[in-house]
Amino acid sequence: MNKNKKFLLLTVLAVFSLVLAACGFGGDSSEKSKDGGKDSGSSETASSGGELNVVVASEPPSLHPALATDTTSGVILTNTFEGLTTLDADARPVAAAAESWEVSEDLKTYTFKIRDAKWSNGDPVVAGDFEYAWKWALNPDNLSEYASILYSIKGAAAYNNGEGSADDVGVKAEDDKTLVVTLENPTPYFLELTAFKTYAPLNQKVVEGNDEWYADAGENYVTNGPFTLAEWRHNDAVVLKKNPEYWDADKVSLETVNIGMVESEATAATSFKAGEIDYLGAPFQSVALDSIDGFKADGSLNINDQASVYWYKLNTKDKITGNANIRKALALSIDRQGLIDNITKGEQKPALGMVPIAVHGFEEDRGYYKDNDIEGAKAALEAGMKELGITNPADIKINLSYNTSEAHAAIAQYVQEGWAKNLGITVGLDNSEWQVYLEKLNQLDYQVGRMGWVGDYNDAYTFLEMYDTAANGNNDTGWESAEYKKLLDQSNTEADPAKRLELLKQAEKVAVSDFPVIPIYYYTNLSVVHDNVKNMKADILGNISLKEVVVEEK
């Protein structure tokens, strides 16, 4: 998800299981070969008739694939729309709307063959639906905050920035079955990108002339994925139904997915224990803090690594948090391991960098700073106060903002107490409902604000790209660095994987040294699921394909 408030992950709901969203999502793009990808379905026909009950924490902000930026919207879109590829259990791309593809020797041209498939209204899914959707997202008039995730395509950035035209974008439907995509540079994770929601097709006949097609369930909400949007009772529930027109419908077991909206993690946990819902965990509502010990004790809690990070963003345009030394003092004075041991309890890892250790090449501690470095924090605070002309730490007043959630509140209170104790500053807490909160961050109407980020794809770039410029839709800090952007740009043209990895690490070091964000911890996905529900497990990016889920009779 680029304003993946993820996102992507995200994106929203979880302290441990959810993040914005988005985005939050490399493939084998070697040589000129047909898709090594296998079809995403299993070889056996699934039994049908199952009903799954789950909850999310809030109303999805948008169910338009090109406008959604958060995890809550993403979990619905991932299962109602289908891109050229989808991700398997290991978050690797496999064939979906495209049945095969070829890659040119220079790794810059992809030729996709579109399989025989239909939209939920019976229209054929054609290559032009992808060309139309991608150019719609890139059209600057449409204000897609995730448009930059398409920038690996030739001419995409120029068009989105008002410096080029749609005709110059390197995506072309040669006929109904052939989509040719030309990239600016070799992009090792491009096939993973084509599974992301912004790359989903749109039914041009339905969308054109109907600006509200995605605002409600009904005949205008036409999908090409395994499920349709049967009902959308705003601020109450979403109901998905099996899509009979889906090309692989025989492999879909579930007939109905009921997605309630329950803001309270504690209430959701009570519903799970009562058997009213079937699953808690990413990418749906999170496991309540107060329930973790109990689920651990009875052996039902599942803990899996996730390529996502919980961090605090900082408004670098604010008088106080605009000071780099103040930001450094805040970052160094957090006891991350204490937070994990006493509050989150999910075996998370202290985040000492922006890229999670679940991402290839970033597994080790990069040594940018130490956890709970109080002496270093006090030195940075003293330097910052001198620069700001402040003599008493108590005169530094900071608001710590978060979206409404028992878990986010508990984390904020822990950090608030640590900052007050270790630095002597005054810290207030401010919580808002999710959509209001997103707008606050977008408008820089905050000082310090929590956000989670789930990788849109399994590559470090998805965690670094959002800060390439202050104008990036997912930045929300006002921070930018010419050196940082240069390193990211160089990584996009570097064909040697080892050299590219080193450039990404150099970029991370530049950002971490200036602290536009304060990484707190790397997520694990905590989940519980009833025994009669099979194949309900999030991948490393926090996604669950409901296509694979089976609910057996109790």
- pLDDT tens string 455-496: 888 899 999 999 999 988 889 999 999 999 999 999 988 888
54 bridge partner residues: 259
Phi, psi of 348 (to 5 degrees): -65, 170
- R_g over Cα of the chain: 23
Does the pLDDT value for residue 164 go beyond 80? yes
Does the pLDDT value for residue 182 go beyond 60? yes
Does the pLDDT value for residue 526 go beyond 70? yes
Structure tokens at 204: 């041009």
Give the integer Cα–Cα distance in Å for 161 and 343: 43
Structure tokens at 406: 């028992």
Does the pLDDT value for residue 33 go beyond 80? no
Give the integer Cα–Cα distance in Å for 525 and 537: 10
pLDDT at position 237: 98
pLDDT at position 402: 97
**What is the distance, to the nearest Å, from the Cα of residue 338 to the centroid of all Cα atoms in its chain?**
26
Give the integer Cα–Cα distance in Å for 425 and 318: 16
Give the integer Cα–Cα distance in Å for 369 and 352: 7
Does the pLDDT value for residue 545 go beyond 50? yes
Does the pLDDT value for residue 329 go beyond 90? yes
pLDDT at position 48: 56
Q: How many residues does the chain have?
A: 554
Q: What is the largest CA-CA distance in the chain?
A: 71
**What is the distance, to the nearest Å, from the Cα of residue 79 to the centroid of all Cα atoms in its chain?**
15
Structure tokens at 528: 């519980």
> Angle at CA 356, nearest 5°, toward 415 and 517?
45
Give the integer Cα–Cα distance in Å for 423 and 405: 26
Give the integer Cα–Cα distance in Å for 397 and 427: 6
pTM: 0.78
256 bridge partner residues: 51, 241
Other Cβ atoms less than 10 A from the Cβ of 485: the count is 16
Residue 97 three-state SS: coil
What is the overall mean pLDDT for the chain? 90
Q: What digits encode the pLDDT tens for the residues 281-310? A: 989 999 998 999 999 999 999 999 899 999
> Angle at CA 455, nearest 5°, toward 356 and 352?
20
Give the integer Cα–Cα distance in Å for 53 and 258: 5
pLDDT at position 90: 79
Does 350 sit behind a cis peptide bond, omega within 30 degrees of 0 on the bond before it? no
Q: Where are the alpha helices (DSSP H) in 353-405?
A: 374-388
* Arithmetic mean of pLDDT, 349-371: 92
Does the pLDDT value for residue 43 go beyond 60? no
Give the integer Cα–Cα distance in Å for 152 and 185: 7
